[in-house]
Structure 1
């Protein structure tokens, strides 16, 4: 059979879990799992980098208030007939020329675009922090769900193991009774099939447990996961009495604290700033400028002619002297008035207005989604509690039915098939209690989450 690389990797991971079963295993609490995920999850690390990028963008926006200053320097060789840039005389010779300069520009007025850009950058930092917090909240819920799934699979495995032990005892006792001629041999075959089924169920439960551990270990980005395990916390109580709150109270509290609403509101404010920045391009811009320059030539200087009319040259002045003598300044203001630009400014303004409308709709949609999610979470939690309580009552009844069937089976008043059916119903009832209990626990966590109760206590760094 062909096995792809992914299946091979999963098999190796599961095999690693199995080999470590006898080793000393660290058992993680839910709080440890959540905190480790928040510190090591790759998605969260990427969001943290987004916060740093937003902070850099803010510093860039602040820099737009400041003047730009640039220096320049050059040295050139002119060969042949060239105009000496210092003497302004055309000569045929090889000359060298050096120049130095510095220029500065500063925005005096730019339609308030710089101010609005800085405010937008400040809002972008807030938005990136909200996005990071939202990511942390989502990861926390995912970790809690994966953690509870492990606990559910652990309990289910215990039920399967206990069931196998009971059936093996029944099988041994039935073998004795068959040898004594008390029961027919057919009952023995039924029990052997039941024991085989129990072993198969244990294998399935073990695989489910290993896969759930692997899922949580990968969510935590654990590099060493072979010995990974969690503590057995099976408390299914509503410790914070969240079910005593009404859905409207939970929703009103959620509107004040939920990160997705804060993020949507901040994005709306960013969109408003984008419109203001785009409109600023309609207005004139005024810039101030200043430049300083100086130069020096390395050519001989013509100072006259002798009696025969031959030119008389002397060496160039010292370079520093030339730099001092040839320096110059240039400064002033530049006004730019937009008249027609192919509708680019207008189209940009309209484009940002559309984005603003989208942000308004997104905020409204987020509020409606939050209301629906809160009421759904409350209904789900209430339904999960009722289901869990009903499953518990059903389990008690199935346990009593099983005990009665066992008494009848022990005295020969019930055959093996009927007794196995009673036992199967009991096992199914136990599985239902486990499933509904952890489903209720997770739905309580979701409801607490909307009410502002964190998965784990917040630590201020």
Structure 2
């Protein structure tokens, strides 16, 4: 039993350790965000609501059927439904019915409502696609930022290793009297500055990891990490197209234009729906009702012993009084429940026509409001096209500029690397002081960091152009 418990504990520990050691690739981050990001989930709810709206529109074509039933007791002075006499009694009455109705014609609003619901569903799906593109691009940017911070820290550590080696050599040269004490202090100050920058770089890594985890919807910040791999610059053939070709492709593929177009169609459908209120509405109905009571039924009649006859009239001319037997009905047990329902049932059916004549200009004003909304949607579509052109032009220009900046940064980094190697050789033989060596080292670090920043900046901006060109987010190559 103890061995079994020990094995279970070890398995649990191993599973937790493997979970902690999971490192996320960019593809995994994008796919996870598309499934779990809160903004994506909220947009998916809009799609579900549009589906419900479509079902509502379909339901307008189906007859409405309702059933009702009641069983009530009345106590006190009430009319006996059998004899018609008011008397103190307790009466139980049961009634039931079924009613059905259907709209035969309502100015074609039902058909137009269904068309509107279908367009609304498409608009929600396009909005979801746009949200996924935005989230995927944001995840990629955050992921590349983490990579930049990690590689920046590696650069600082590599440079710090060089500084440590130089510190040891400088200490030996100072002890031998070859270099002054000031060179040693300069190297020590450089060492302290590099340690401070490494601490700041480590903090930047944690902050960028937390930001990425929040975008993905992951709360275990402590154990969240990404795969450290170097992303190469590839697939820049997209920039072989002119900016105008990218703009035209974006107008065909991007969701921004499609969403604006569907919003315009929705506004136009609202106008047609409002105009439908000008036309008459024709409906059909059918009702079935029945009832049952617990009161006794009349089974016969007997003469009233107190007043066996009663006056029913007078003969004109002779003034002779006409009398008739005065009978009292005798009550028996009520008919069975089912028999009463069969005997007392009835149906009604027919058509109902409603013709709008005057409603305080409500319909006219609603039509006018919706026509104004159509104009607004047209302006929004025009603005969306202008914004898309500006955004694509900006993204295209940024990508080209980022590529040129990256090439320049690589050239500068290579040149500074050679300059640093030359400064290192001169410092090792005592031909330059520690200050000049530190300055050469700082310039080399800065060019390396700038080359990294320019590289990931170009990769991200290139992906933005690819999205505008219509490449699906899952097909983007990194």
Q: Same fold (TM over 0.5)?
A: yes
1:82–1:401 distance in 2 versus 1, CA, 3 Å: same
Q: Could you say which residue in structure 2 is the equivalent of 1:91?
A: 86
1:88–1:160 distance in 2 versus 1, CA, 3 Å: farther
SS at match of 1:456: helix
SS at match of 1:72: strand
Are 1:400 and 2:418 counterparts? yes
SS at match of 1:28: coil
TM-superposed deviation, 1:406: 2.1
Alignment check: 8 A CA contact 1:81 1:90 kept: no
* Counterparts of residues 167-178 of structure 1 (less than 5 Å): 167-178=163-174
Within 1, Cα distance between the matches of 2:341 and 2:47? 49
How many equivalent residue pairs? 438
Q: Could you say which residue in structure 1 is the equivalent of 2:160?
A: 164
Q: Could you say which residue in structure 1 is the equivalent of 2:443?
A: 425
Are 1:149 and 2:109 counterparts? no
Within 2, Cα distance between the matches of 1:58 and 1:23? 43
Within 2, Cα distance between the matches of 1:292 and 1:88? 26
Q: Could you say which residue in structure 2 is the equivalent of 1:305?
A: 302
TM-superposed deviation, 1:266: 1.3
Q: Could you say which residue in structure 2 is the equivalent of 1:320?
A: 338
Alignment check: 8 A CA contact 1:236 1:440 kept: no
SS at match of 1:256: helix
Within 2, Cα distance between the matches of 1:275 and 1:23? 57
The CA deviation string for residues 2-34 of structure 1, in whole angstroms up to 9 with x for no partner, is xxxxxxxxxxxxxxxxxx999973332211110
Within 2, Cα distance between the matches of 1:99 and 1:373? 69
Are 1:220 and 2:216 counterparts? yes
Larger radius of gyration: 2
2:106 counterpart (110, 113, 117) = 110
Q: Could you say which residue in structure 2 is the equivalent of 1:49?
A: 45
Within 2, Cα distance between the matches of 1:90 and 1:336? 42
Alignment check: 8 A CA contact 1:105 1:288 kept: yes
TM-superposed deviation, 1:46: 1.8
Within 2, Cα distance between the matches of 1:251 and 1:98? 73
The CA deviation string for residues 117-162 of structure 1, in whole angstroms up to 9 with x for no partner, is 1111111111111111111111100010011101111111111001
Farther-moved stretch of structure 1 (264-273 vs 20-29): 20-29
TM-superposed deviation, 1:397: 1.8
Q: Could you say which residue in structure 2 is the equivalent of 1:61?
A: 57
Within 1, Cα distance between the matches of 2:80 and 2:395? 85
TM-superposed deviation, 1:445: 0.7
1:22–1:29 distance in 2 versus 1, CA, 3 Å: closer
Alignment check: 8 A CA contact 1:21 1:227 kept: no
Unaligned runs of 5+ in 1: 1-19
Within 2, Cα distance between the matches of 1:164 and 1:22? 32
1:38 counterpart (21, 31, 34) = 34
Q: Could you say which residue in structure 2 is the equivalent of 1:350?
A: 368
Q: Could you say which residue in structure 1 is the equivalent of 2:270?
A: 274
Are 1:334 and 2:330 counterparts? no
Alignment check: 8 A CA contact 2:236 2:462 kept: no
The CA deviation string for residues 252-278 of structure 1, in whole angstroms up to 9 with x for no partner, is 111111111111111111111111111
Within 1, Cα distance between the matches of 2:396 and 2:162? 40
Within 1, Cα distance between the matches of 2:59 and 2:107? 17
CA RMSD of aligned residues (A): 2.0
Within 1, Cα distance between the matches of 2:30 and 2:184? 50
The CA deviation string for residues 284-310 of structure 1, in whole angstroms up to 9 with x for no partner, is 101111111111222123443325146
1:251–1:281 distance in 2 versus 1, CA, 3 Å: same
